[in-house]
Structure 1
Amino acid sequence: MAATPALAQDTQDPSVAPETQTAEDADTGENIVVTGSILRRSTADTVSPITVVTADDLDARGINTTQEAIQRLSSNNGPALTNSFSANGAFAAGASAVSLRGLSTSSTLVLFDGMRASYYPLADDATRNFVDLNTIPDDIVERVEVLRDGASSTYGADAIAGVVNVITKREITGISARAEAGIDERGNSPNYRLSLTGGFGDVEGDGYNVYASGFYYTQDALFNGDLPYPYNSQNQSGICLDGVCGPQVGPNSGSINPSSQGFEGFSLTSDRRLFATTFFVAPYDASNTTSQGRYQFLNPAAGCITGETPYTLSAAEFADPDNALSPRTVCQGDLVTQYGVVSPELERFGGAIKGTIALGGGIEASLVGNYLQSKVSYTGEPATIRANANTGIMFPRFSTFTGGPPNAPGSFALALPVYVCPLVNGMPQATCDATNGTLNPNNPFAAQGQVARIIGRIPNLIEYNETLSRTYRGALTISGPISDNWNFAVDAVGMRTDLRRTQEGYVYIQRLLNVVADGSYNFVDPFANSQATLDYLSPDNVTDSHSDIYAASANISGSLFELPGGPLQLGVGAAIRNESIDAPSANDDFAGPTERYFVLNAFGTSGERTVYSAFAELDAPILEWVDVNLSGRYDNYSSGQDAFSPKVGVRFRPFDGLTVRGTWSRGFRIPSFAEANALPTTGFVTNTAALFNDTYLAQYGCTVATFNACPTYIRAGAYGQTTLASPDLDPERSTSWTAGIVFEPLRNVTLAVDYYNIKKTGAITTPSNSPALIAYYSGQAIPEGYNVIADAPDAQFPNATPRVAFVQSSLINANTIRSEGLDFAARASFDLGPDIRFTSSAEASYIINLSTEFPDGSVESYEGTLGNFNLTAGSGTPEWHGSWQNTLEMGAWTLTATAEYFDGYNLSAEDQNGAGTSGDCGLLSEAFVECDVPSYVTVDLSTSFDVNDNFTFYVNVLNVFDNLPPIDPITYGANNYNPVQGGTGIFGRSFRAGAKVNF
């Protein structure tokens, strides 16, 4: 978003970009401690580029949470974590995180009032620790300072890409309140906001100030079914380009009508996403290995259930050998239309109290306490009874387990046995036959001595996920002068985040085995099962996690002596902090491979460390027009790592109206708790033609060139990328430098451009899967450091080499990552007449290069593509991101229009294409959309009217032109669009109205 400073400025310091100057700097000239420094100065005196977003900016734009404002920063790109990801299987569900420079959430440091915050207990992609933006108490925020430069020399770890510093208000007097309501044009996702703030006392006059604030915010979920096509359906056959249409996913995999090509095959893979809800069964011999006939309805009288549509195969389709196991009539259910969630339900409320007191002699103390609760919830799909259970500790892979001889671990599909027997000590009997059991009423083939393989879902068990985060924070600051030239500051903070994650509607594997073995679950008529049976089959899974941080720091700063350009300033300080996380697995397998749930990931981590730090900063105005800044910090970790982080900055002002600035620094990122000590985690990667070779595919009657004709087992499959933690990781190291120019050609017109270049070495990563996959599919020995686990065979090709199910490897320090780009900013402000003022402000970021160099010297480039696919969750790295904000003030009336631009990108990713190259559209298997996803622009309109000094009414129209995101069928985390590029634009045209009162 465009960061517009307060509009009362008549003179701007030309040395600072327009987005970096605040009213406090311009109007009072007061020196404050700004982000990235321990010396007192104004933002005009810094050598690093800083963006400032004020509370007034948010109101002008119509943004009602600080979290959303940070997400809209132009420098936020690539692997950002938005609230919408919570509803699409994110590891760190319920959270939001910023990613400056495309370098991931763990390379951006988030501070509250210059102090660190506790990590969100769950890690992004199960590896990266970050601070949840939802924990920011919106109504007491004064401004957000974004340092677009490395800052490890001041703050230590994680400040490689930059720093986001949320600064709260120093004092508040009087009472203010706000009430707001909004809804989108289609009547979906209503949202409400209430807040009340009150304070009394003046620090300067009375010697104290105390204020308290509370707020409540809620937003209903937005479902795919509420949106127009193609965002509301799994069926892509209506997405066409030059006569070529997208794939009809096929019966039992998500589309209502068959494609123009007709029936595409009855899915028998172990991918749970391909199953509709209606139960089908097929006869197999008693050993559950040999087919005895086609699949058929388990309950023909009921037919297709839960809104699914029957489709009868044509004679040719039925006779096709590839459909040898297909029933004559199949059921098709669009899981996206029926169950898909675009944005989860949000509920946030909290309060803050802050007291500031003047202790005399200019010394000031403040104490602040915060509590914030954030609940994020969403519903999912009907519960699966057949899937891969994500990797745990003891058993790296298993398909559905069903207990008993025909259903041994690793068997391909769930099978209903011939006989059912009572459980013994809560477990199935080892042998169940005519001597101790009865014919299975759920198995229509029992009388013939055949088991019944079954696929489908539990129709009256709907998955539900809820994260409830409670954050407690207390902070104390004492600062002031020691003498005329020296000041001190002491800070202490304690913060804890408690997280409860509740997951309902997921099938517990052993209990499924039990109800299959004793026949207590009615598969024929699933709606006849009692609630007690459903509760037994799917017990609620509640997992409590927490993270803590306790920190203290002290510094002194002041002037040593005068130089030609001003005083030589020195600041020195020391700090200590203790940080910890305890996030147990929600689905471990310590009790055995079946004593867990389907689908739920096994991620879990814990750890604690203490960090001791010392830092210093020296600012030398050598000449009136040359200023040199030196800083450095040493950090020592109880976990055995240490780092020294130096920084040099120069500001050169040859004449009024022109400033040249630049910095060089080194930084580091400490291995996260999850990277150093966590249970194995698994993410699934969709199979592409590049994974295979013709020799291997010949077993399945196809080639790389005819990959789209391969069986569904190959073409629609995915393999699990299982990551193992490593306690021996070193910190990632970075070297970065910036160079910028700020130019003021006219009064109140400022232009700025800054170049940044970041090189991160020893980047922590999972080794490329390519060597292991190539070796496996070529029949060669698996390279050292990898473990490849084969999937269950394809029932239609039982003698072929199975596809890969999982590739396991440990994290390593291996790669070199480069991020290079330009930031642009412009601001102009004009008086057009009495009480009429027009302000235009724009900012944009351009990524020149984002790439990874591997140990073998090979390089993958990601800018302008969906890469780094694994790092960005497929949201990609668009080269441009910017916004343009225009505000017209006419007395009591204000009108603001803001355009946000998100660049397009190519549907390729070098980390997914194997030997593919950037720009080759390699992720699009069929040309039914353009290879280059077009750019995306939204326009927001906000207007406010001051009825009097105490009352303001405002109306926001968001996405005025109802411009929905461009079609992207590849990116995951959303259906047919990119959730980062699309942002809140997916809601379409939305309205919000509110009122503010002040007394």
Structure 2
Amino acid sequence: MKRSYLAVAAAGMGLGMGAWAEEAVPLERVTVTGSNIKRIGKEKALAVEVIKKEDIDKTGASTVIQLLDRLPSVGSLLAGTNSNSFAAGAATAGLRGMSSKYVLVLLNGRRLPNYAMFISGTDAFVDLNTLPLSVIESVEILRDGASAIYGSDAVAGVINFKTRRNFRGAEATLRGGGNLDGDGIEHGLNLSGGFGDLEQDGQNLLLSFDVYHREPVFSRNHDATRSNDYRFQGGPDLRSGAQWGYWNDRTPNADRSNALAKPLPGCPPWRLTTRPSGAALCVSDVDELGTQLSPRTSRYGLTAHYTRRLSGDAEFFAELGLNRTETPLDGGYSFVQTIVGPGWAVYPRDGGLASVYPDFKPTDNLQITRNLSESGRRLNEITSDTYRAVLGGRALWRDWDLESSLNLGLNKVEARQNNVVLNDAFLAMLRNGTDGGPLYNPFSQHNDAAALRPYLATIANTSSSRLSAFEFKASNEEWFRLPAGPAGFAAGLQWSHESIDAQPDPLLQTGKIMNFAVQQSLRASRSVLSAFSEVNLPVLKNLEVQLALRADRYNDFGDTFNPKLAFSFRPWEPAMLRGSVTTGFKAPTLPQLYASRQAYTSVYDYAQCADRGIARERCGLASNQLRSGGNPGLNPEESRNYALGLVLQPTPALSATVDWYRIEVSNTVQSLDPQYVLDNPDRFPGFVARKPADLPGVRGDIDYISAPYMNIGKTRTSGVDIDVQYDWSLGAYGKLKFRNAQSRIFSYRESQTETDPMLEYADYGAQPRWKNVFEVSYSRGSYSLGLTARSYASFKNLYSQLYRNAGDVKERVGSYTALDINFGLKPSKGFSVSGGIRNLGNRMPSYATGAGFSGGAAAYSGPATDLWGRMLYLSGRYVF
């Protein structure tokens, strides 16, 4: 019997249902997904979604995140396209509606180093952009807690990426594509070669080189994002006034208490817009601002796998991965916002303002806000290098499968920004003038770029994340026998050490850069020693039970024990019932404990507006400093997962699964919502700091808001995953395949604080009730054709009340469906071609006013790439 040893996969139920073999073929001993016990047979009834290479090619996805974005169960994505993100250029994904910090990401069953920068400045994650999609042979997604088997990260599930093994020969794959609106052109190349045969030569070496490049995608080229004036979609006008600039009278005088923004002189009439608050702005739109939906991206990767048969069933194996990602992100313009007094060198004394605005007095204090566009936009160049090495061995000794491995990983990130402005020096120039050099006049639209040049700088943040892990495990598929069959057993030890070293530019650490909050360095580490065991017991011929236990000792949080109980029951051959109960333990991440974060957030200061007599719906959104970050006093999160599923296969051609889940997380670690803190100052004394008031009875402007990470409450979510597949044989005329997969959320509730009631978030923009994917494909010989319909639920417009006077804002956002088409053909033995069109009907995703990926202006259903319009892709593969 042929033996093959596959890497440890994702996590899951590990239930031992018998395989249905349609023909007598040699069966392989494999490590069952969700179990450490090697077993013989094909597992067809596990609660694991498997996406194979041919399925990946049909989606037309060019990156891992684009692939995952189309799956019903995947959400909470970070696509790596937002230049304002603390983790700019990186990508990650969540499961079950939960964030990525609850998901364990594996490559060939082993951990990867975390990205060296953090979501929101404090949340650690694995960057999916470091994984070239072209070298991935399959993806396994387990939507179930697996803390007892794989570790505390697996509260919401596991995503495991597998690369090919024991490959022989050589192949080249060339890929190209782009959207039909003229941007986002992409191309990729993969070269792979396999040397030696493990069975015949006793060794095999696989080398794979991958390169990928995509040009930027611009908002102006696409219908859904062609303007920040969202009134054409039933939303408000959110065009910016900062490009031309505006000023406010900030003189502490009672008759100016309701002074509103006024554009700088010379605004062309077609740009002049009056906001519902009464403020007048000279607006600029996405074309003038050069807004990007996706940046230029280049990636390079080299992967090597070596396996050598030593003697008998003993093997030595090694893996090596080197990846570089280069992402130049458009960082927008630097901008100045400061109060200019009569004594400043740049104060307007020529009567220009008085001639345009009769209420201007030459003794007024003026707050000026404008982009410093003369120097051009900032460019944020992100370079991420990931190194990974695995060394290990496998052996079969007295019916025991033994394996040990050493896993080393490193991610290094440099984020370099140019055209940033030295804050103190620039303001000193505005205040005191220059010694013979050009003076920058913020009230003029025609400054020479040389007036800004002395105050420009380039900054660079560097950070590194390291992982070291050692594992030894042993398993026996027939530890002992029971009347109903053999009992399997597995046990092992793991040790891991992770560390982070983040060093912001010295100018950022001292607060010298305009528009950037103070950033502090971080050096921290953690070690975890773990022991785990697992047993599969065939209680009856049709009932199997899995028991698992994991003990972890954290050097900073002590001991934790997490058990798991799972079962599979087959009352008759075509049907099976399965279920599981497990607990989890999620230690705070190192950044959540120790990182210090200062950033900017946009909030509505309703209290100050009320003091000034401004109605709530006219209160403007303003950017304010946010102080948040690490809290060494955090406690671990604890979770419980429940799952119950039904698998039906009445015929070999028809199968269906229905899997219900419920996840309960206590002591949830979250940053307080800054708007919630501002709206409830009595509950958080000292968390809102204000500047001195300009007027009696009017609260001063916000200086900063504190919103540290805290164990603030609970999360409860439940839902169901449904998957139905049918294969229809047409005999000599080919085969039709049908599949419908849906992920439906019943409830997703969170509390803002420990004492607050839980609020329902399902059926809002961030948590639509369901996603559905229907696929039909036809194949005959070497030809195939497929059609996919991706549908996204309608949801409540969270911001409909806030913007009810700013346009025809709908109470509910409609559902929508996008179609994808794909084809494949193999004109010769070694040559194959595949391609297709994504978003065939050029459907515009449903729009909702509120925060979203497109610059905080709007939120849309579905994948971000649907905003790019109709996209064409084509690839060719030649096997030598």
Distance (whole Å) between structure 1 residues aligned to residue 324 and residue 676 of structure 2: 46
Task: Tell me whether 1:69 sits opposite 2:61 in the alignment.
Answer: no
CA distance in 2 between counterparts of 1:21 and 1:597 reads 64
Query: How far apart are 1:74 and its partner, in Å?
Result: 1.6
Quick one: which amino acid aligns to residue 568 of structure 1? A
Q: Identify if the C-alpha distance between structure 1 residues 335 and 834 changes in structure 2 by more than 3 Å, giving closer, same or farther.
A: closer
Query: What's the offset of the Cα at 1:564?
Result: 2.3
Match of 2:207 among 209, 212, 230: 212
The counterpart of 2:737, out of the listed 799, 823, 839, is 839
- Indicate the larger mover: 974-983 or 659-668: 974-983
Q: Deviations over 1:955-979 (max 9, x none)?
A: 2111111112112221322166535
Structure 1 position 815, deviation (Å) = 1.1
**2:768 paired with 1:862:** no
Secondary structure of the residue aligned to 1:456 is strand
Q: Is the 8 A contact 1:33 1:40 kept in 2?
A: yes
Q: Secondary structure at the match of 2:836?
A: strand
Partner of 1:575: 494
- Which residue of the other structure, out of 435, 439, 463, is the alignment partner of 1:521? 439
- Alignment match, 1:970: 850
Other structure's SS at 1:124 match: coil
TM-score of the superposed pair, with normalisation by structure 1:
0.79
Q: Which residue in 2 is equivalent to 1:806? A: 704
Instruction: Name which of 664, 668, 679 aligns with 2:581.
Output: 664
Tell me which protein shows more strand as a share of its residues. Answer: 2
Pairwise CA distance, 1:165:
1.0
Distance 1:791 1:897, change over 3 A: farther
Q: In structure 2, what is the Cα distance between the partners aligned to 1:925 and 1:552? A: 60
The residue aligned with 1:869 is none
Compared with structure 1, are the counterparts of its residues 61 and 770 closer, same or farther at alpha carbon in structure 2 (3 Å cutoff)?
A: closer
1:494 to 408, 413, 422: 408
- Matched AA of 2:409: M
Name 1:468's counterpart in structure 2: 383
**Letter of the aligned partner of 1:556 in structure 2?**
A
Identify the residue that residue 257 of structure 1 maps to in structure 2.
none
How far apart are 1:789 and its partner, in Å?
1.4
SS of 2:421 mapped into structure 1? coil
Could you tell me which of 497, 511, 515 is aligned with 2:425?
A: 511
Contact preservation (8 Å) 1:772, 1:786: no
Instruction: Measure the CA separation in 2 of the matches of 1:215 and 1:25.
Output: 37
Equivalence for 1:552 = 470
In structure 2, the CA distance between the partners of 1:798 and 1:580, relative to structure 1 (3 Å rule), is same
The aligned amino acid for 1:887 is S
Amino acid at match of 1:231: T
Change (3 A) 1:22 1:158: farther
CA distance in 1, matches of 2:505, 2:342: 28
CA pair 979-787 structure 1, distance change in 2 beyond 3 A = same
Q: Post-superposition shift, 1:826?
A: 1.3
* Bigger mean CA offset, 608-617 vs 934-943: 934-943
Whole-angstrom CA distance in 2 between matches of 1:858 and 1:448: 53
Q: What are the superposed Cα offsets for residues 175-194 of structure 1, whole Å, 9 maximum, x if unpaired? A: 11111211211111101111
SS of residue in 2 equivalent to 1:811: strand
Asked if the contact 1:129–1:674 (Cα under 8 Å) also holds between the matched residues in 2, the reply is yes
CA distance in 1, matches of 2:659, 2:191: 40
AA in 2 matched with 1:828: Y
Correspondence 1:825 to 2:825: no
Q: What letter is aligned with 1:860?
A: L
Report the residue type matching 2:877 in the other structure. Answer: K
* One-letter amino acid of the structure 2 residue matched with residue 978 of structure 1: A
C-alpha offsets along residues 391-444 of structure 1, whole Å, 9 cap, x if unaligned? xxxxxxxxx4xxxxxxxxxxxx24574459xxxxxxxxxxxxxxxxx9999999
Contact 2:243 2:284 in 1 (8 A): yes
Q: 1:907 aligns with which of 794, 797, 822?
A: 797
Conserved 8 A contact 2:587-2:635? yes
Deviation of the 1:717 alpha carbon: 3.1
Residue 167 of structure 1 aligns to which amino acid in structure 2?
A: K
Q: Which residue of 1 aligns with 2:687?
A: 787
Decide which moves more: 629-638 or 831-840.
831-840
State the alpha-carbon separation in 1 of the partners of residues 792 and 381 from structure 2. 31
Q: Specify the code of the residue in structure 2 equivalent to 1:992.
A: Y
CA distance in 1: counterparts of 2:43 and 2:549, whole angstroms: 19
Within 2, Cα distance between the matches of 1:836 and 1:378?
47
1:557–1:682 Cα change, 3 Å: same
CA contact (8 A) 2:123 2:589 kept: yes
Letter in structure 2 aligned against 1:834: A
SS in 2 for 1:153: helix
1:140 aligns with 2:106: no
Aligned to 1:353: 304
Q: Which moved more, 1:640-649 or 1:843-852?
A: 640-649
Q: Which secondary structure does the structure 2 equivalent of 1:895 belong to? A: strand
**Pick from 103, 108, 114: which aligns with 1:113?**
108
- Structure 2 counterparts to residues 310-329 of structure 1, below 5 A: 311=272
- In 2, are the aligned partners of 1:97 and 1:131 still within 8 Å (CA)? yes
Quote the offset at 1:349 in angstroms: 1.2
Partner in structure 1 of residue 776 of structure 2:
886
Cα offset, 1:276, TM superposition: 3.0
**Match among 49, 52, 59 for residue 51 of structure 1:** 49
Q: Report the Cα distance in structure 2 between the residues aligned to 1:67 and 1:27, rounded to whole angstroms.
A: 36
Q: Residues of 2 paired with 1:162 and 1:121: CA distance?
A: 22
1:446-465 to 2 correspondence within 5 Å?
454-461=368-375, 462-465=377-380
- 1:959 paired to 2:877: no
The 1:414–1:99 alpha-carbon spacing in structure 2 relative to 1, beyond 3 Å, is farther
Indicate the SS of the match to 2:101: helix
| Structure 2 partner of 1:699 | 611
Deviation at 1:802, TM superposition (A): 3.5
Residue 404 of structure 1 corresponds to none
What residue number does 1:741 align with?
646
SS of 1:762's equivalent?
Answer: strand
- Single out whichever of 191-200 and 66-75 deviates more from structure 2: 66-75
Contact 2:599/2:627, CA 8 A, preserved across alignment? yes
Output the CA distance in 2 between the equivalents of 1:930 and 1:980.
Answer: 15
Q: Distance in 2 between matches of 1:278 and 1:62?
A: 41
Paired-residue identity, %: 23
Match of 2:827?
947
Give secondary structure in 1 for the equivalent of 2:58: helix
Which residue in the other structure is 1:34 paired with?
32
- Residue identity opposite 2:226 in structure 1: N
Unpaired runs of at least 5, structure 1:
1-14, 241-245, 255-273, 387-399, 401-412, 421-437, 777-781, 867-875, 910-919
- The residue type paired with residue 530 of structure 2 is S
Q: Which moved more, 1:334-343 or 1:138-147?
A: 334-343
Q: Please, what is the CA RMSD of the aligned residues?
A: 3.6
Q: Residue in 2 aligned with 1:191?
A: 186
Q: 2:665 aligns with which of 760, 776, 799?
A: 760
1:21 Cα deviation (Å)? Answer: 9.6
Distance 1:655 1:884, change over 3 A: same
Q: Which amino acid letter does the alignment assign opposite residue 105 of structure 2?
A: V
Map residues 589-608 of structure 1 onto 2, 5 A cutoff: 590-591=509-510, 595-599=512-516, 602=519, 605-608=522-525
Report the count of equivalent residues: 852
Structure 1 window deviating more from structure 2 (568-577 vs 579-588): it is: 579-588
- Determine if contact 1:732/1:761 at 8 Å carries over to the other structure: yes
Per the alignment, residue 329 of structure 2 pairs with 378
Distance verdict in 2 for CA 1:771–1:746, change over 3 Å:
closer
TM-score (norm 2): 0.89
- Contact 1:586/1:603 (8 A) holds in 2: no
Q: Which residue of 2 aligns with 1:985?
A: 866
Matched residues in 1 for 2:142 and 2:561: separation?
Answer: 20
Change in CA separation of 1:662 and 1:311 when aligned onto 2, cut-off 3 Å = closer
Distance 1:784 1:561, change over 3 A: same
**Per the alignment, in what secondary structure is the counterpart of residue 576 of structure 1?**
strand
Give the direction of change, closer, same or farther, for the CA distance of 1:552–1:599 in structure 2 (3 Å limit).
Answer: same
C-alpha distance in structure 1 between counterparts of 2:138 and 2:19, whole Å: 11
Query: What is the correspondence of 1:254-265 to structure 2 with a 5 Å cutoff?
Result: 254=239
**Secondary structure class of the residue paired with 1:90:** coil
Is the 1:418–1:447 Cα contact (8 Å) retained in structure 2?
Answer: no
Change (3 A) 1:35 1:978: farther
